[in-house]
Structure 1
Amino acid sequence: MTDASPAVPEATAQPATLPQGDPDSGGVIPPGVIPPVCTPLTPDRDLDIPSLERLCGFLLDAGVSGLFVAGSTGEAAYLPDELRIRALQVVAGVASGQVPVFAGLIDTTTPRVLQHARAAEKHGADALVATAPFYAPTHPAEIAVHFRTLRAVVNLPLLAYDIPSAVHTKLPGALVAELAAEGVLAGLKDSSGDIDGFRAVRAMVDVPGFRAFTGTETHADLAMFAGADGIVPGLGNVDPHGYVRLFTAARRGDWATAAAEQERLRRLFGLIRVGDPDRMGRYSSAIGGFKAALVHRGVLDHPTTSLPMIPLNADEIGAVRDHLAEAGLV
């Protein structure tokens, strides 16, 4: 990172509350589908800028409400810092104010996340998305210090990213509600898979404009029924139109249409399992599957994934195409 690490403010500092806007008019953070954008790579693992520009255009044409850079689907944990920044710059340039750009701040500790936050603010982010600290065990009181510190230093809307499968900490619903009431958190991206917990958080938070998004691909309709403001699906890179249709149907209360669209997307999500588990992990299979699908759809030039992920072989890439064909996408 080229940005100097800021001085850490007092943990008790209370940030000024950003206006979140009317809950139904869009506000700072609009409801809708916000895909965690894949990071296209060249065969030598540099940023593939033309493919990233095409992907952003493809998503915008589908009617998404925002673009999320450097999330889990964007391989944030694998990317050098300068490549994260270049990806953000490209996405912000393509978005050009049409939709907000969310920057993921996935890293282990508060000082490191602060560096990412200041860089994101400088290079075009409209909002920030941060997990709890990880690697070292973290108490809820320390998680609160983490989010309060971020929000006091960088004056952008901040969303908490609840992904216990990756950081090994489940964000307590009461803590999310407390930080929302203080103006620290403008929203939540819930990738825990805990629909009951999500519903509980939705009931606890009574802050106008607070946005609660689900990160699930396969029961997004249930999360919408439980009060989600939108969907942040990795599979949304491959079929953004399907998730926009699901979201639109759910918002108008057409649950039968939403459920039918969800079932089609659930089957399509099977493409994340094409990789042979005897030779690769599930993450390699999933990210490889998304990228192979986007190559089949003519959006990306290469299916390259970050090291040490194992690439899909020709048969597995063919199996991805079979899933696309069954979903009516090729």
Structure 2
Amino acid sequence: MKLPLKGIIPPMITPLLENKELDHLGLEKLLKHLIGGGVHGIFILGTTGEGPSLSYKVRKELITATCQIVAGRVPVLVGVTDTSETGTLKIANHAKSAGADALVVAPPYYLPISQKEMGDYLERVVPALSLPFMLYNMPSCTKLHLSLDVVIKAKKLGAIGIKDSSGDLSYLYQLIEEFKGDPLFSVIAGAELFLPETIMYGGHGAVAGGANFFPRLFVDLYDAALRNDLEEVKLLRDKVLKVHSTIYEVGQYSSRHIKGIKSALMAMGICQDYSAEPLSRFSEDKQSQIKEHIEQFNYKNEYKSAH
């Protein structure tokens, strides 16, 4: 795996069947769509991938199948966050044996912990990890907004980067400024709208949920930001804003983002939109709304993956 990690690394959804088992055919079609769209890596078992809601059996199947299908064409990053250290290490070890490239580690969720407790956790867990790891700042799901000191400690322990999904642009800038002297440490935005600022300020890429269905759009936006092509950046970001105001706005609960992405992929004929409990798929009327939005984007021509 080449460092620093950079580019568009989609937080891949987990294609499921109605019985909540892994949809192997859907997974193969999705990965073909993503890699054909030019993405620079694949991140599985994150928030968008519903990682914590999946059985350990399905998680392991997903890791193994993803690594087999990707076959080294792009790095595969595996989310290993769990409520217990034992659960984290079991998935980490499986990822290693399956051929994954790196792990993604967030604070253990459910019980609130302090910054010091997170630092202590990393000191215990990191030596037992079987692959390089990236830190994951996801305060909306973990109850902890990682301090700069904790990120610095993680880097000293061997972290190869951080994915920041706090939505706090000033914090993202602090991260970029703090680690700009290390050519091997990646600062990756979790908020896809921050992609241009991240790149132009010296960051490395984005874990963009919308890249699940429109990978080429986000790859083009990343490339335009690298070129500092402000006119192209504005044109492409307007299209990303349209995604946010249409596909992401169907439904009333925060889970609408995951449901919307899955429903969009179903509308595009890539996989079904079944979710892991406690989430459920969109109703038929909302599925129809998503399909109408997708068709308005003219995705078959404008955002077609380059196979």
Does TM-score exceed 0.5, indicating one fold? Answer: yes
Structure 2 residue 271 is the aligned partner of structure 1 residue 296: no
1:187 matched to 2:161? yes
Give the structure 1 partner of residue 216 of structure 2: 241
Q: Give me the CA root mean square deviation.
A: 1.6
5+ long unaligned stretches in structure 1: 1-25
Q: Is the 8 A contact 1:246 1:262 kept in 2?
A: yes
Structure 1 residue 183 displacement after superposition:
4.4
Decide whether the 8 Å contact of 1:273 with 1:282 is kept in 2.
no
Letter in 2 for 1:316: K
Q: Which amino acid aligns with 1:314?
A: E
CA distance in 2, matches of 1:114, 1:81: 12
- Give the letter aligned to residue 282 of structure 1: S
Match of 1:325 among 285, 295, 307: 295
User: Which AA in structure 2 matches 1:175?
Assistant: V
Q: CA contact under 8 A between 2:8 and 2:39: conserved in structure 1?
A: yes
- 1:152 deviates by 1.1
The match for 2:122 among 144, 147, 154 is 147
Q: Distance in 2 between matches of 1:303 and 1:133?
A: 28
Q: Which residue of 2 aligns with 1:308?
A: 278
d(CA) in 2 for partners of 1:81 and 1:28? 29
Counterpart residue number, 1:114:
89
Are the aligned partners of 2:75 and 2:100 in contact in 1 as well (CA < 8 Å)? yes
- Write the distance in 1 (CA, Å) between the matches of 2:197 and 2:175: 15
2:305 corresponds to which residue?
none
Residue 103 of structure 1 corresponds to 78
Q: 1:282 and 2:254 equivalent? A: yes
Q: Distance in 2 between matches of 1:259 and 1:81?
A: 42
% identical equivalent positions: 28
State TM-score, norm by structure 2: 0.92
Per-residue deviation, residues 91-121 of structure 1 (Å, max 9, x unmatched): 1011101111000012123332122212221
Cross-structure match for 1:264: 239
| 1:215-249 deviations in Å (ceiling 9; x for gaps) | 11233222223322011011110100000000011
TM-score normalized with structure 1 length: 0.86
Correspondent of 1:197 among 155, 166, 171 = 171
CA distance in structure 1 between the aligned counterparts of 2:97 and 2:9, rounded to whole angstroms: 21
Match of 1:123 in 2: 98
1:261-316, Cα deviation, whole Å (9 max, x unpaired) = 112012112312212x3xxx321x2222111111111211x211112213211221
Relative to its length, the structure with more helix (as a share) is 2
Write the distance in 2 (CA, Å) between the matches of 1:134 and 1:324.
Answer: 34
Q: Determine the C-alpha separation between the residues in 1 that align with 2:144 and 2:132.
A: 22
Contact 2:274 2:280 in 1 (8 A): no
SS at match of 1:219: helix
Letter in 1 for 2:70: A
CA contact (8 A) 2:6 2:205 kept: yes
My pick for the range that moved more, 191-200 or 317-326, is: 317-326
Q: CA contact under 8 A between 1:88 and 1:103: conserved in structure 2?
A: yes
Distance in 1 between residues matched to 2:64 and 2:87, nearest whole Å: 20
Partner Cα distance (1:92, 1:36) in 2: 15
For 2:158, give the aligned amino acid: V
For residue 55 of structure 1, what is the aligned residue in structure 2?
30
> Aligned to 2:299, what secondary structure does the other structure show?
coil
Cα distance in structure 2, aligned partners of 1:67 and 1:241: 14
1:6 paired residue number: none
| Residues 219, 262 of structure 1: 8 Å contact kept | no
The count of corresponding residues between Structure 1 and Structure 2 is 298
Residues 254 and 141 of structure 1: is their aligned pair in 2 closer, same or farther, counting only changes over 3 Å? same
Q: Does 1 or 2 have the higher relative contact order (CA < 8 Å, sep 6+)?
A: 2
Q: How many Å apart are 1:329 and its aligned residue?
A: 1.4
Moved more, 215-224 or 202-211: 215-224
SS at 2:38's partner residue? coil
The secondary structure found in structure 1 opposite 2:193 is coil
- The CA distance in 2 between the partners of 1:207 and 1:183, in whole Å, is 14
